[in-house]
Amino acid sequence: MPRQRTSSRPRNAHAVCFGRAIRELRACRELSQEELGFRAKLHRNYVGALERGEINPTFKTLRALADGLDVELSSLIRLYEEREEDLIAQRAHPAARVHDARRGARAILRSSCR
């Protein structure tokens, strides 16, 4: 049986929550990782690593992602905070359904139309 490839990079809970927020917004915008990378001037593999929580973005990268997703940086941070709260609630009550998967991203996208 072949071994499953795993990342050698350790993941922390903050990076994973942020990655989920990025993936959620990207999916709501119906963008591929490659398209988001192009818009944000980042490599598609870097976008994938961010979404998997393998790397922590710099402030410059956060700004580029927000621009690429066409949202305010504060909205991106707010969605991350919502996902972090969901994760904490889910750990406290594993059987409870915490949120509609894309509710937060849709609200942010609706409110961030420029």
Predicted confidence (pLDDT) per residue in 95-104, tens digit: 765 555 445 6
Q: What pTM did the predictor assign?
A: 0.73
Provide the greatest CA pair distance for the chain: 52
- Residue 100: per-residue pLDDT: 52
Residue with tokens 């621009």, as numbered in its chain:
67
Domain spanning 13-108, CATH class? mainly alpha
Predicted confidence (pLDDT) per residue in 22-46, tens digit: 999 999 999 999 999 999 999 999 9
Predicted confidence (pLDDT) per residue in 42-60, tens digit: 999 999 999 999 999 999 9
Structure tokens at 74: 């504060």
Which residues in 30-65 are b (16+ Cβ under 10 Å) and which e?
A: ebebeebbebbebeeebbbbbbbbbbebeeebbebb
Residue (of 42, 29, 7, 6) closest to 79 by Cα position = 29
Domain-wise residue ranges, the chain: 13-108
Whether residue 107 is predicted with pLDDT greater than 90 in this model: the reply is no
Q: How far is CA 99 from CA 21, 47, 67, 95, in A?
A: 13, 24, 26, 12
